[in-house]
Structure 1
Amino acid sequence: MEILSSHSAPCYPIVNSRKSVSDRRKPKFDHGYVRSELWPLNNHNHNHNHNSSGFYLNGHNRTFKSTPIRALKADEGVIDAKEVLEDMTKRRGSIPKVLIPGLPDDSRGEISAPISSGSWEWKPKFNIHYERSGSKKNGAPQVLFLPGFGVGSFHYEKQLKDLGQDYGVWAIDFLGQGMSLAREDPTRQQQQDGDQGDDPFWGFGDETEPWADNLVYSIDLWQEQVAYFIQEVIKEPIYIVGNSLGGYVALYFAACNPHLVKGVTLLNATPFWGFFPNPTRNPRLSEMFPSAGTFPLPLRVRKIIEFVWEKIRDPRSIREILKQVYADHSTNIDKVFSRILEITEHPAALASFASIMLAPQGKLSFGEALSRCKAQDVPICLMYGKEDPWVRPVWGLQVKKKLPEAPYYQISPAGHCPHDEVPEVVNYLLRGWIKNLESQGFVALPLVDDESGRFDVAKDLEYVRDGKKRSVRVQFYGSETSIWSRLTSYFNTQFQDVKIKFM
């Protein structure tokens, strides 16, 4: 395997058009969204009566009125989800219920997609660990999942087993995390008086090994890692999904490599990362900080980091953190807990944690990456657990404000890791979103069926897990633009074109 250089992959300049992926997916309408609205309308026998306040769909003895997302027009740019939901409930009665599939249960004879593990050498002394399921046969879309901080590909087992039945599914461990930790100590001790050293932790020696020169576990390194993994292992454009830190990396990667991306899904994506200034963006300010996460790490830093590390790696602390981020405490977190605990016992774990904490911020902020993706016309879907104590829904709604056409799904009850807590719901929404893009908008977005004239839809999604029926409420926010104004504009344009031809 070719060993790649350690410098960051360059971000590509912003252009106004995308290549084959965009040409195939988006002929006329924003992200295929108008077509997703047209599809259900064309499959229902409704009469449409337009008036100044919206439009009505009359049929099957029901009447639906279009409601814009009023709060999107507010100065703060934040949707008052509670107010919209209460208003909608008063006008329309009970929340509709939708039965969705549960996860495949091997114990009940249901076949799930088999998962295989892989290892890919990207840099010397580093093997990138990844999990995969499904295949590339019959042109199946490829989906890559990026984990949050402190976990790894194992956090997406429920997606690998389920979505692998339809797609090629991949999950990767970031360098310095999960099972992608260094195989050797990145530093060495100067031997004195026959002392061979018995330090259980790597990374705090006197000199840096040549292969670890300028190594920093930063967000720039991770987006570069993802880019090369897709180019050399997956070898085709992908749908990329990221939770928490993984969401930031997914957005950052898409901003720098739009030609490798078919769509981005953010699962409670953290909108910031790193405490210290980036030397490229703020060279003078960055010089004020003695360490930038490179090896060997200063001993004075080690004393502080080691104290924090011992507190964090305590099994009681890990349990408490997991209890915070999962809204439903009945969720079985034993496997996640044991895997996190296992990672903390690796001799490279402490130095990796220290490097991550001292690493500079990315060359692109979350907002800048978002703007680049918008300019590059990268489709983005937002899925946020409402009860997340860390990345609250307001952050997702701020993204929604900047990308009015992006579908936004707020899931409740669900916390910081909805893919693990309510995987049935996340998998259902992901399947629907991918089908919408793959069909160029002719398959409706999830939850947008006979209510396609509305853009503030709420539904209770019901599924069966362990023989018991469960229910999760999903609030969907689509575009604030009226479908009829879009359709009128489109057909007026087509009519003008025809008129010009006959003049």
Structure 2
Amino acid sequence: MEILSCHSGLCCYDVNFFSRETSDRSLSSTYPRHYSILQQKSLCCIVFKPSHLRSSPLDHFRSNKFCTIGGFKGLRNSGSSLVGGTYNSYILDREEGARSITDTGKVPKILIPGLPDESKGEYAAPISSCFWEWKPKLNVHYEKSGSENVNSPPILFLPGFGVGSFHYEKQLKDLGREFRAWALDFLGQGMSMPSEDPTLQSGVIDKSKSAGEDLVWGFGDEAQPWAKELVYSMDLWRDQVHSFIEEVIKEPVYIVGNSLGGYVALYIAASNPHLVKGVTLLNATPFWGFLPNPIKSPRLSRMFPMPGTFPIPAPVRKMTELVWQKISDPDSITEVLKQVYADHSTNVDGVFFRILETTKHPAAAAVFTSIMFAPQSQLSFDEALSGCRANNIPICLVYGKDDPWVKPIWGAQVKRRLPEAPYYEISPAGHCPHDEVPEVVNFLLRGWITSLESKGSVALPLLDSPESAALDFFKELEFVREGLRKPVNVQFYGSNFSFWKRFGSYLNLPFQGNDRPKIWKQEEI
């Protein structure tokens, strides 16, 4: 048996062996969770190490001696078996016995880890809920896990619009077993809502309100001193994240952002590259805000009297009240969740009730109005991309293919701007792949961060070698959820990515050899 390659990570390594022997079918009865496959006389396996072992898998590998277990040629390290027992192995096909891919034309399935099942005694990282006073009257809620992993890389998760840190519960419980992880609520969302009315009510309190009923906050006649410059905008969230990294995390981080959080992640990385080790975009929205920015376009911005500040003018209040009543209605929230989740079997009850709870806050309508009338950010999405590229910020793209809002073509455009950025497209998955297929997203995040921390000596997730990052490929993944196997398709686009070819695949256009859409002649139509 000859070793062809070995790729190591924080929690796993991928060892490829060359063997002229087919695997023993008796292994499936001895080790029922292991499957074997002969791929052009190559046995590929991924062995996951439990979180309490901090040494590098390559350190284990260097001291391994080959041994035979039940007819299977495996590895043993100082009496500790790497196949079975302490370790969980996942072979690159779930069918028993050896089979040549070239004979069947079948794409092998890759079995990846599921989420930790606490009902079965599997360890999940505990989550702590915390508050941080950023400025007077502006308290920021965040959640964290993995604080004991002092030597591991830190990760900061930024949520999309309308949700909060709770949307990353599956990442904190899983990735918190190996990394230090934080998830943040943007100001004006989740549990980072104002603790008191940002405006002053003139005159006598409205006695028409029933006893004990709270007044609606934010629609008074005058802004409180602490809220005179308050605008719930992209620039506010950039400053919030900047201060959070400096004051709470206190070291450079990997940032993972979904939707709005993806834009903020790029913005903070471009503005403060010394604070960011890398950015992962999860269906990042490429635009935000409608009104001109007062710093970039001061004259134009003065034409709009309501730049998202308090107090909110009465005409604006009347206009937004109807919109707010519609979008905060439980039926509307349910309909939105149906749109953004491609797999309707996903349980979104927790997400629904947390969103609904936020809409009941007395300041919710006023905060929503401020967000809708807030100016655009100082950096556009494209400018933030350029800033990240100029500062060599590593970027990874993980997009749900079935997103009805940020369609995959937006991810393809980012890939065109950043050809070296790995681009994984997952299906079925919608606008929030981290919540819909967290098993896949967590697997990719682990592998990507491992590759960066190894300075490229470890291949990117699902790649056979670092050199294969230039190529496109398709993989079929499986994971176990609630006792059932769930299949997921992942398309990887390498550095030889062609935007025109990808664009044509969305439109089902034929292509010529130069990778640009074919222009049909009149007689061909």
Q: Provide TM-score, normalisation by structure 2.
A: 0.74
> Aligned pair 1:456/2:472, yes or no?
yes
Q: 1:316 aligns with which of 328, 331, 339?
A: 331
Q: For residues 343-385 of structure 1, what are the alpha-carbon distances to aligned partners after superposition, in whole Å with 9 as ceiling and x for unaligned?
A: 0000010010000000000000000000000000000000000
Map 1:97-496; keep pairs closer than 5 Å: 97-135=109-147, 137-192=149-204, 198=209, 200-449=215-464, 452-453=467-468, 455-480=471-496
Q: Secondary structure at the match of 1:122?
A: strand
Q: Is the 8 A contact 1:96 1:458 kept in 2?
A: no
Q: Which has the higher strand share?
A: 2
Amino acid in the other structure paired with 1:104: P
Q: 2:107 aligns with which of 87, 95, 98?
A: 95
Separation in 2, partners of 1:129, 1:42: 42
Q: For residues 71-113 of structure 1, what are the alpha-carbon distances to aligned partners after superposition, in whole Å with 9 as ceiling and x for unaligned?
A: xxxxxxxxxxxxxxxxxx9999322211100000111111100
Map 1:45-60; keep pairs closer than 5 Å: 60=40
Q: Secondary structure at the match of 2:378?
A: coil
Q: Is the 8 A contact 2:460 2:466 kept in 1?
A: no
Separation in 2, partners of 1:440, 1:44: 24
Q: For residues 409-457 of structure 1, what are the alpha-carbon distances to aligned partners after superposition, in whole Å with 9 as ceiling and x for unaligned?
A: 0000000000000000000000000000011111110110169546111
Separation in 2, partners of 1:440, 1:228: 28
Q: Is the 8 A contact 1:44 1:450 kept in 2?
A: no
Unmatched tracts of structure 2, length 5 or more:
1-7, 20-38, 43-100, 498-525
Separation in 2, partners of 1:152, 1:297: 25
Separation in 2, partners of 1:299, 1:91: 72
Deviation at 1:61, TM superposition (A): 5.6
Amino acid in the other structure paired with 1:380: I
Amino acid in the other structure paired with 1:123: K
Q: For residues 316-364 of structure 1, what are the alpha-carbon distances to aligned partners after superposition, in whole Å with 9 as ceiling and x for unaligned?
A: 0000000000000000000000000000000010010000000000000
Amino acid in the other structure paired with 2:201: Q
Identical-pair percentage? 67
Separation in 1, partners of 2:317, 2:350: 30
Separation in 2, partners of 1:283, 1:173: 30
Amino acid in the other structure paired with 1:397: A
Deviation at 1:196, TM superposition (A): 6.5
Q: Is the 8 A contact 2:474 2:489 kept in 1?
A: yes
Amino acid in the other structure paired with 2:475: K
Q: Secondary structure at the match of 2:135?
A: coil
Amino acid in the other structure paired with 1:419: H
Q: Provide TM-score, normalisation by structure 1.
A: 0.77
Q: Secondary structure at the match of 1:139?
A: coil
Q: Which has the higher helix share?
A: 1
Larger deviation, residues 472-481 vs 145-154 = 472-481
Q: Is the 8 A contact 1:41 1:450 kept in 2?
A: no
Unmatched tracts of structure 1, length 5 or more:
1-34, 47-58, 63-88, 482-503
Larger of the two Rg values belongs to structure: 2
Q: Which residue of 2 aligns with 1:19?
A: none
Q: Is the 8 A contact 2:457 2:466 kept in 1?
A: no
Separation in 2, partners of 1:250, 1:424: 22
Deviation at 1:233, TM superposition (A): 0.4
Deviation at 1:137, TM superposition (A): 3.7
Task: Identify the structure with bigger relative contact order (alpha carbons < 8 Å, sequence gap 6+).
Answer: 1
